Amino acid sequence: MPDTHPPSRTALWLPIFAGLCASLVSIGLARFAYTPLIPSLIQAHWFSANDVVYLGAANLVGYLIGALIGRPIAQRTSNRTALRLMMLAVTLAFFACGFPLSVVWFFAWRLLSGIAGGAIMVLVAATVLPHVPAARRGLASGAIFLGIGLGIAGSGTIVPPLLSLGLQQTWFGLGLLAVVLTAASWFAWPSGTLHEDARPSGPAVATPSGVYLLFAQYAFMAAGLVPAMVFLVDYVARGLGAGAHIGAMIWVMYGLGSIVGPVTYGFLADKLGARLSIRVVLVVQAIAVGSLPFAGSLTALAVLAVLLGSFPPGIVPLALARVHELIPNHHQQQVAWSRATVSFATFQALSGFAYSALFNFSGGQHGWLFMIAAGAIVVALALELGMRLLNRRPSAAVPPHTLIAAGNLK
């Protein structure tokens, strides 16, 4: 039975620290540290250029699988046990990737690391946030997903020195870092999730229409963030002819934005509300990604990179806060967040393949990708306007309880 006394500051921040470690290992490092390794994987003849692209996609496919199976795994064990197992799986994958035995071997371990990342994304907030006062959950979720930003930044600062030791040693170094973070967080997870098994009592409550709107918006956000996340360095280095060194500098700025993003967006959710914060962020991001093809100076590129870097990890606490605004019941929140993550993961994986195909078809025209991404973000913003217009024109035949549910969108 949970303790009824208010949690101490240490008891409050330990689970948040564990969540940060989990997102850092499973997404920040497992996904984003692969990007600066791509040239070395090709140059060292571990794999061909085409194979490297597919190996990168393996993590995105695994992320979708993990989002689907995360909650069932936790139901058969516990949230804490599932999270520990997923962190161990990622750690093992780092060491296994140090042995390029075959494409199938490497693909399987990249897939496993993606599965762990998706499962952790579904479970970590549901495990930690019930132990945080409601007024501070936006900031707390930002702190949890700060790990993603730290991983993005680390991919541009930790990987290059490791590569000087060798490609295999780089994978082992990432594995050792994962061991340290897994060990540091092992006993920081809460022993049980408050209200973990709570189910809505009485008759089933209809899901507010705003939740389905969020699923759609979150999906288009995923489609909008992929080009900058994948092609930004290549755009600067080859597309603009600035060279690999300038490309690396811009990626560091992207990483800086990814550190600032989660906590800033979580703070906005606490102060302005998630709904208004999402609107503001979508407007800024649409302008930023749409401006990339027209950025005429290094300073402009650096500023845009910071703004764009804040988006991938920052929208996670925003979307989570919106779920909590729309749904009061903890169990339904878990279900909705799991579905939102699946929606995001599906569009992220599909758009990743689609953008790659378009990039090859267009002969390497980065500008097309960025303009399509800006369009996807505009669609995410327009969806809410469309829903609002529909709700203002109710049919006389619509039952009153349906109108009440539609009102939850506001």
- Select from 192, 218, 247 the last residue of a domain: 192
pLDDT-based confidence at residue 8 (cuts at 50, 70, 90): low
Same domain, 58 and 135: yes
> Mind spelling out the 3-state secondary structure of 326-392?
HCCCHHHHHHHHHHHHHHHHHHHHHHHHHHHHHHHHCCCCHHHHHHHHHHHHHHHHHHHHHHHHHHC
Same domain, 255 and 281: yes
With 60 as the cut, is the pLDDT of residue 353 above it?
Answer: yes
Token digits for 265? 């967006």
pLDDT-based confidence at residue 126 (cuts at 50, 70, 90): confident
Same domain, 226 and 98: no
**pLDDT attached to residue 79:** 86
Q: Is residue 201 part of a domain?
A: no
Same domain, 139 and 283: no
pLDDT-based confidence at residue 397 (cuts at 50, 70, 90): very low
**pLDDT attached to residue 171:** 93
Distances (CA, A) of 128 to 13, 17, 313, 407: 10, 10, 17, 30
With 70 as the cut, is the pLDDT of residue 403 above it?
Answer: no
The number of distinct structural domains making up the chain is 2
Read off the pTM: 0.77
**pLDDT attached to residue 42:** 76
Same domain, 237 and 380: yes
**pLDDT attached to residue 229:** 82
- pLDDT of 163-188, one tens digit each? 888 889 999 999 999 999 999 999 88
**pLDDT attached to residue 396:** 41
- Select from 139, 158, 192 the last residue of a domain: 192
With 50 as the cut, is the pLDDT of residue 409 above it?
Answer: no
- pLDDT of 232-255, one tens digit each? 877 888 788 887 778 878 888 898
pLDDT-based confidence at residue 288 (cuts at 50, 70, 90): very high
What residue ranges in 97-141 does DSSP mark as E strands? none
With 70 as the cut, is the pLDDT of residue 275 above it?
Answer: yes
With 80 as the cut, is the pLDDT of residue 142 above it?
Answer: no
Q: Is residue 372 part of a domain?
A: yes
Tell me the average pLDDT of the chain: 82
Q: Average pLDDT in the 76-81 region?
A: 88
**pLDDT attached to residue 195:** 42
Same domain, 132 and 27: yes
- Domain that includes residue 63, residue range: 9-192
DSSP 193: -
Residue 370 has a CB neighbour count (10 Å cut-off) of 24
- Select from 192, 216, 248 the last residue of a domain: 192
103 or 90, which is more confident: 90
CATH at 29 = 1.20.1250.20
Same domain, 170 and 222: no
Same domain, 311 and 235: yes
Q: Average pLDDT in the 336-356 region?
A: 85
**pLDDT attached to residue 97:** 92
**pLDDT attached to residue 3:** 45
